[in-house]
Amino acid sequence: MPLWKTTAYNLTESDIRYAMSNSKSNRAAAMFLKVSLPTYRKYAKLYIDNESGKSLYELHKNMSGVGIKKRFPYAYSGKHGVASILRGEQPEYPSRQLKKRIIKEGFKAECCESCGFSERRVNDYTVPLILVWIDGDKTNHLLDNLLLICYNCFYLTQSDLFNRRADRIDFKGYRDEN
Ligand SMILES: [Zn+2]
């Protein structure tokens, strides 16, 4: 498998399709292949799906958002609306609460953005997910800077789940366009 941020890696059509079948968005597919989003995009746009006439990138784009809950009407209003947090207006907002709210209020689906894992544990019916700040700045709550991944994917892409150094892993290039 390629390393993070490898630029000289050639992705074949079957690599892309395999990643697509294991993910729910282009960003997740890129993570699945452990390449940056721009690298993934470059190749995913090269291959055209015969059936739809669309590039694989376009084809997979439609998948993002599937399963995302309808947004809470109050999410957009007021100082404490989660939208204001996701616009970066409340950098001090606690991260535990933030993770709960972006799921509950429908800004992200409750599943791993890398592999689509969404199994719930019995006692509280939650999915084991970790909130990752792409730029490593845990006060940068912009929606584009946030990534929800499962413990398994976190472990596979970080050196050590409980190692503080994991915070420094570079998630840049994983911002989707939407
Ligand atoms: Zn995962």
CB 169 within 8 A of CB 135: no
β-bridge mates for residue 130, sequence order: 149
User: Would you place residue 9 in the very low, low, confident or very high pLDDT band (cuts 50, 70, 90)?
Assistant: low
Interval between CA 148 and ligand 1 midpoint (Å):
9
CA torsion sign for 77, 80, 85, 88 is positive
Interval between CA 78 and ligand 1 midpoint (Å):
33
Structure-block tokens of residue 148: 């929800």
Interval between CA 24 and ligand 1 midpoint (Å):
11
Tell me what percent of the residues of the chain surpass a pLDDT of 90.
19
Interval between CA 43 and ligand 1 midpoint (Å):
22
Angle of CA points 49, 53, 55, to nearest 5°? 55
Q: Which backbone phi and psi does 94 adopt, to 5 degrees?
A: -60, 135
Interval between CA 110 and ligand 1 midpoint (Å):
11
How many other C-beta atoms can be found within 10 angstroms of the C-beta atom of residue 21? 11
Interval between CA 32 and ligand 1 midpoint (Å):
9
Residues across the chain: 178
Tell me what percent of the residues of the chain surpass a pLDDT of 70.
72
User: Would you place residue 158 in the very low, low, confident or very high pLDDT band (cuts 50, 70, 90)?
Assistant: low
β-bridge mates for residue 42, sequence order: none
Nearest one of 158, 141, 142 to 150, comparing CA atoms: 158
CB 49 within 8 A of CB 59: yes
Q: Is residue 161's pLDDT more than 60?
A: no
Interval between CA 155 and ligand 1 midpoint (Å):
9
Q: Is residue 64's pLDDT more than 50?
A: no
Q: How many helices (H) and strands (E) does the chain have?
A: 7, 2
Interval between CA 30 and ligand 1 midpoint (Å):
12
Interval between CA 112 and ligand 1 midpoint (Å):
5
Mean pLDDT, residues 65-70 taken together: 48
Dump strand ranges (E) for the chain: 129-133, 146-150
Radius of gyration of the chain (CA): 17
